[in-house]
C-alpha cells in the first residue's frame, strides 16, 4: 500500500495500476461504515484494479469552526485499517496542499443543497462539491463510492457529475449501523454513554414513519409527526435540527407521498449532530 501526501505525486503514481480505478473519499476517523465502502470498492476493483481511499478533513465544508476543530483525527489507525482491508493507495494531504492561499474558485449546487443540512449549514455543500471534484480530477476514478447515510450529499454529488459531465459513476452503499440501530458515524464517539444509549430513537422514529407509510398513510405531515413524537420523547435533551419528508430525486417537499421519497433528520445531542434517513416507496 502506498501513502501519498502531495497532490502532484498522485496522478503519476496511479498510472502504474490497471483499470478499474475505484475511489472512496473520507475524512478519516474510519469505522465499520467506511470499511464497508472499502470492501465494496475492492469488490468493484477486483484483483487487478485499484482502490484509492482519501483521508482529508476538508475545512471548506465546515460551517462551524468548533466542529472542524473537534472532528476526530486518527491517521495512524486509519492507515493501519486501510492496509489490512485491501486499499492500494491512501491519499492523505494537508489542507495547505489542497487549497492555495488565494484560492477563489468553488463549485456551487443551487437546488438540491438548499433543504436539510444545507438550510442550517451555509456553504457546506459548496465545500463538498469543490473538494470532491478536486479529488475526481486528481484520481480520475471510474467509480466513486459513498454511503447513503449522507443521502443529501450523495444526491448533490450525483447532480454535480451529471451537470458537469464528469465521467465518474457514483455508487451508493446502504447505511451501516451499530448493533443498537444507530447509524455509524465518527461523531458517535463524542456522545456520552447515556446519549449513545438514547440515540437509537432516531432510527426508531424513522422506522415508525416508514411502518405507517407501508400501512397506507400518505400524509407527509402525519408521517413527520409520528417521527417527531418518538424523537422528542427523549430524556437526554435531544433537539431536532431538521425533520423533513422530500421527493427522493429532487429533494423538494412532497405531500401526499405518492412517489419515492426520503424522510431525513438531523438531531443534536448537545454539540453532537447526528443524521439519518430512510427511503419510502410511492
Residue whose grid cell is 483499470? 19
Q: Where are the alpha helices (DSSP H) in 91-200?
A: 95-98, 117-120, 124-139, 151-163, 193-198
Q: What's the CA gap between 48 and 53, in Å, rounded?
A: 16
Do residues 276 and 265 touch, judged by C-beta distance below 8 A?
yes
Gyration radius of the chain over CA positions: 19
Catalytic-labelled residue, pool 31, 34, 124, 210: 34
DSSP annotation of 241 reads E
CA distance 94 to 199: 33
And the C-alpha cell for 272? 453532537
Burial class (CB in 10 A: 0-12, 13-18, 19+), 248: middle
Note if 114 is an active site residue: no
- List active site positions: 34
Amino acid at each position: 500500500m502506498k501513502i501519498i501526501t502531495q497532490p502532484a505525486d498522485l496522478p503519476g503514481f496511479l498510472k502504474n495500476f490497471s483499470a478499474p480505478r475505484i475511489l472512496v473519499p473520507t475524512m478519516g476517523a474510519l469505522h465499520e461504515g467506511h470499511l464497508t465502502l472499502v470492501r465494496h470498492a475492492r469488490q468493484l476493483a477486483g484483483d487487478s484494479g485499484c482502490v484509492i481511499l482519501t483521508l482529508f478533513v476538508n475545512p471548506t465544508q465546515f460551517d462551524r469552526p468548533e466542529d472542524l476543530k473537534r472532528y476526530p483525527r486518527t491517521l495512524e489507525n486509519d492507515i493501519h485499517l486501510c492496509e489490512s482491508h485491501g486499499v492500494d493507495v491512501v491519499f492523505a494531504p494537508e489542507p495547505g496542499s489542497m487549497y492555495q492561499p488565494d484560492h477563489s474558485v468553488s463549485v456551487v449546487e443551487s437546488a438540491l443543497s438548499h433543504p436539510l443540512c444545507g438550510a442550517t449549514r451555509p456553504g457546506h455543500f459548496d465545500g463538498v462539491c469543490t473538494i470532491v471534484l478536486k479529488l475526481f480530477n486528481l484520481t480520475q476514478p471510474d467509480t466513486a463510492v459513498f454511503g447513503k447515510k449522507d443521502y443529501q450529499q450523495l444526491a448533490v454529488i450525483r447532480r454535480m457529475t451529471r451537470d458537469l459531465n464528469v465521467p465518474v459513476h457514483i455508487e451508493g452503499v446502504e447505511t451501516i449501523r451499530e448493533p443498537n440501530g444507530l447509524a455509524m458515524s465518527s461523531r458517535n464517539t463524542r456522545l456520552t454513554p447515556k446519549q449513545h444509549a438514547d440515540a437509537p430513537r432516531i432510527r426508531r422514529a424513522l422506522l415508525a414513519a416508514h411502518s405507517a407509510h407501508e400501512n397506507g398513510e400518505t400524509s407527509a405531515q402525519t408521517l413527520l409527526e409520528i417521527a417527531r413524537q418518538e424523537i422528542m420523547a427523549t430524556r437526554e435533551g435531544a433537539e431536532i435540527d431538521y425533520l423533513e419528508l422530500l421527493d427522493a430525486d429532487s429533494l423538494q417537499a412532497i405531500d401526499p407521498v405518492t412517489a419515492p421519497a426520503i424522510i431525513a433528520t438531523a438531531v443534536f445531542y448537545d454539540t453532537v449532530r447526528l443524521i439519518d434517513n430512510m427511503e419510502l416507496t410511492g
